[in-house]
Amino acid sequence: MSLSVLSLISLPASIQDEVRSVDPSVALTMAPGWYDGEIRETWPAFTTERYLGRRSRGHGTREERDALLAAARVVVIGFPFPLDIGARAPNLEWVHQRPAGASNLRRGDLWDAGVVVTSSRGRAHNLPIAEYAVAGILHFAKGLQVAETERAERRFRAPAYAPVQLAGKTVCVVGAGGIGREVGRLCAALGMRVVGTRRSPAPPSRGFVGIRGADGLHELLAESDFVVVCCQWTPETENLIGRDAFAAMKDGAALVNIARGEIVDEEALVAALAAGKIRGAALDVYVGEFDRAPDPRLWGDPRVLLTPHISAAADVSSHRGADLFVENLRRFVEGEPLENVIDWARGY
């Protein structure tokens, strides 16, 4: 029986060769960009303008695209993706998504739909994302947010920078998974004391002096000069960094969020900034980032560094999601358990 694999994303020629060599039954169809027209019709314009090529309007007829999905037992997707894959793929057994965050799938009909879905969690751009987190820490440690105000005023105010030395300072990594542990490793290399949280406590490693369970977050926030949010967005973590968390934070701490905007309660963040509770926030994500522009109160505050979800970008590709897909395809053919299967109840 043919194993029809449909990829809606570009795969390097070497990966395509590996996919086809897994088993003689594998029939790989490459269809990157084919569904872009449908995606433009069903996703917010704010998303499609950002993630799709300006001239990309899709390929083939609706009937041809339906036929590709109808034949597929395995589909590889990126972001954004067709929202009705499940309904149009009656033979579908497994979907692999290139992004690491499962929350991308809350749109569409794949969430908890009885189809096995795997993500690239732990195999994505861990290093460049961690470097971005360190850049956000340094931005506030050295008071660089002051420079933009000085440029506008054409006047230097050197004391306003209030720089601090990173060595010896404490950073709390909220979500010490693949990306979080890389953040910890880099921060430890700078001489920082690294603590973190996970869903459950874990042994110290990669520069961490301690990794507590979720119930230890507020205690760690009280001793941390910097807080880096790296956890998955789930019902348990939505607004995790809220009023109580900000109240628990050490005065003058700085926040970096490279995970999902919804993990930080933005009303609580605005209040913490207004009260001078925190030094500032570097946000590569914000609430509703796929639908609209950021909250003007955040975008207009010089103590907030806002970027358009670019922490994973780099001149060198470090994404290993395609390698994971090939490994999982071998397991799939052999009837073995797949790695990184999304647990819908847990949310990742």
In terms of DSSP H, where are the helices of 204-279?
Answer: 217-221, 243-248, 266-274
pLDDT of res. 225: 98
Is the backbone peptide bond immediately before 80 cis, with ω within 30 degrees of 0? yes
Position 205 confidence tier, pLDDT thresholds 50, 70, 90: confident
Question: Which two structure tokens, joined as six digits, stand for 57?
Answer: 């309007």
State how far the Cα of 245 lies from the Cα of 325, in Å rounded to an integer.
37
pLDDT in tens, 141-160: 999 999 988 998 999 999 99
Residue 198 lies inside a defined structural domain of this protein: yes
State how far the Cα of 102 lies from the Cα of 342, in Å rounded to an integer.
7
Pair (112, 132) in one structural domain: no
Q: Report which residue type is found at 346.
A: R
Phi, psi for 74 (deg, rounded to 5): -135, 135
Pair (173, 300) in one structural domain: yes
State how far the Cα of 178 lies from the Cα of 201, in Å rounded to an integer.
15
Residue 344 lies inside a defined structural domain of this protein: no
Which residues carry out catalysis?
260, 289, 309
Pair (11, 51) in one structural domain: yes
Pair (104, 137) in one structural domain: no
Q: What's the full length of the chain, in residues? A: 348
Indicate the angle between helix axes 178-189 and 126-141, nearest 10 degrees: 50
Position 326 confidence tier, pLDDT thresholds 50, 70, 90: very high
pLDDT in tens, 46-67: 999 989 978 888 999 999 999 9
Residue 342 lies inside a defined structural domain of this protein: no
Pair (139, 288) in one structural domain: yes
State how far the Cα of 212 lies from the Cα of 175, in Å rounded to an integer.
10
pLDDT in tens, 258-317: 999 999 999 999 999 999 999 999 999 999 999 999 999 999 999 999 999 999 999 988
| Residue 161 pLDDT > 80 | yes
Q: Alpha-carbon dihedral of residues 127, 291, 80, 57, nearest 10 degrees?
A: -130
Pair (114, 12) in one structural domain: yes
Q: Report which residue type is found at 209.
A: V
Is 326 strand, coil or helix?
helix
DSSP assignment of 58-94 equals --S-HHHHHHHHHH-SEEEE-SS--TTHHHH-TT--E
pLDDT in tens, 7-45: 999 999 999 999 999 999 999 999 999 999 999 999 999
Residue 341 lies inside a defined structural domain of this protein: no
State how far the Cα of 282 lies from the Cα of 257, in Å rounded to an integer.
6
Question: Kind and range of the H or E element at 173?
Answer: strand 170-174
Pair (74, 211) in one structural domain: no
Q: Are 70 and 91 in contact (CB under 8 A)?
A: yes
Task: State pTM to two decimals.
Answer: 0.92
| Count of domains observed in the chain | 2
Pair (92, 211) in one structural domain: no
Pair (115, 141) in one structural domain: no
pLDDT above 90: percentage of residues in the chain: 91
Pair (152, 55) in one structural domain: no
Q: Note down the domain range covering 22.
A: 3-123+319-334
Query: What's the mean pLDDT in 121-137?
Result: 94
State how far the Cα of 175 lies from the Cα of 180, in Å rounded to an integer.
6
- CATH number of the domain at 22, please: 3.40.50.720
Q: Nearest Cα to 140, choosing from 173, 162, 168, 158?
A: 162
pLDDT of res. 11: 95
